[in-house]
Amino acid sequence: MSTARPTAPSGSTGTSTSSRTARLRSTSGPGRWSRAGRVARAVSGPPNRRPLRASTSTGTCPARRHRCPGLHRVAPRASRSSSGPVWAAATDPAMATPSSMRCWTGCCRRIRHRERPSRNVPPSPRPTWHHAHDRRGRGGSATMSDWEFIEVEREGRVGIIRFNRPDRLNAMGTEIGSEIYYAFEEFNDDPDIGAIVTTGNGRAYSSGADLSARMSGEAESAPRRPAMSPWVPEYLALRCKPLIAAVNGVAVGVGLTSLLWYDSIIASTQARFSMRFAAIGLTPELGSAWALPRIVGLPNAKEMMLTGKIYNAQEALEFGLVHRLVEPDQLVSEAIALGEEIAANPASTLRTIKEMTYHELFSPSYETTDRRSTSIFNAARETAEHREAVRAFAEKRSPRFHDVEYMRGVEEEMQRG
């Protein structure tokens, strides 16, 4: 851990930093770990280090020379005033640029590592879902074949994952969970995929946790939440590309609670939903006691959780749990069509919208939300994707967001000014 040197107090001039530090240590007893030292550093603000600099006001990544507006929005050296150093730009969360607006080069990662992780969420997986035009030279880490418990396919820019344990009603265990996670990761890392659809084979979407494996002792030696498990709210809500569920049948337990973090739920008219936790002596998981009331309302959520009742597709639609109902033979095609519509938009914009949607649920006020959204909006106006959209509108053609070479040329053109 490096020693952070305190900045000069308001009004002090002509004194070197080293002499000021020496005087501070001489009066603070044991040195930098003393209470006096900690208080002095807290009052004087963040360490007086030179921040990473962008070569233009809108930000040009010095590592790869492509524009990433607002990505390097690090506070400048503390300005001196009567009130002392000013660090509002670095400390005001409303002005922070979401991670989706960053470029994932070395300097961006350094900025990201300075952020304090939340104590209320599990450790997040490695960063995924890079900008399509920032993936030069990146290879895949796994194949999309030889899955045992799932089926994986592609339809245009939509990735499709089918849970394939029809004999167990697609019950979730360590093995199938790992395969789903790795399939998610492949799609998240693939610039040719813009949305993900999940569905089940057979008559169930997912019947929840595999209790038969637990009773046989199969799951006793495995961790309760494997590191490769996809069923983590933060992962589904913030790390994955837009998720669409095509619920073909029974959705119980984790088969339902995981859906609360999806972006869209399309259900077959034969679908059934249940929060069966109370019936087996368990409590709701995956933050569903927080998410479910916000989706279906508090009275409906409490009824669902306290009774463990099974609800049909029409009741789920009336609650607001699902977004639309379709006939069974049209379910997957409807989900793919929605996925294609979503995937036509820039990946970085989609991720920013997902992050904003969930972050603003915790916003303390409208003013904070407005300041943050304005900051993000202004950064988005300086992106290559927005310039291409404006140009395509003027030329009366479709935007070429997903043409990697073309978008790279747009970035270079913006860099030249």
Summarize the confidence of residues 198-223 as an average pLDDT.
Answer: 76
Residues forming a β-bridge with 245: 198, 265
Which tops the pLDDT comparison, 278 or 117?
278
SS3 label, residue 48: coil
186 vs 377 pLDDT, higher one: 186
Q: What is the DSSP string of 216-232?
A: TTTTTTS-SS-TT-S--
pLDDT of residue 215: 66
The Cα-based distances of 199 to 169, 256, 265 in angstroms read 12, 12, 10
**Number of other residues whose CB lies within 10 A of the CB of residue 166:** 14
CA distance 150 to 266: 20
* Joined tokens for residue 51: 């921040």
Angle, vertex CA 355, rays to CA 110 and CA 225, nearest 5: 80
Highest mean pLDDT among 122-131, 139-148, 185-194: 185-194
Q: Tens of pLDDT along 2-57?
A: 444 444 444 444 444 444 444 444 444 444 444 444 444 444 444 444 444 444 44
CA separation for the pair 206, 166 (Å, rounded): 9
Task: Judge whether 379 and 70 are in contact, CB under 8 Å.
Answer: yes
The pLDDT-based confidence of 226 (bands split at 50, 70, 90) is: very low
Query: What structural domains and CATH numbers belong to the chain?
Result: 1-45 (no CATH), 50-116+349-417 (no CATH), 145-343 (3.90.226.10)
Structure tokens belonging to residue 16: 């070197």
Q: What is the pLDDT of residue 33?
A: 41
Q: Is the pLDDT of residue 114 over 60?
A: no
Proportion of the chain above pLDDT 70, given as a percent: 62
Q: What is the mean pLDDT of the chain?
A: 73
Provide the greatest CA pair distance for the chain.
Answer: 79
Kindly report which listed range (134-143, 221-230, 320-329) carries the lowest average pLDDT score.
134-143
Which pair of tokens denotes residue 309?
């009742």
Which of residues 131 and 315 earns the better pLDDT score? 315
- The residue among 155 and 385 whose pLDDT is bigger is 155
Flag whether the pTM goes above 0.85.
Answer: no
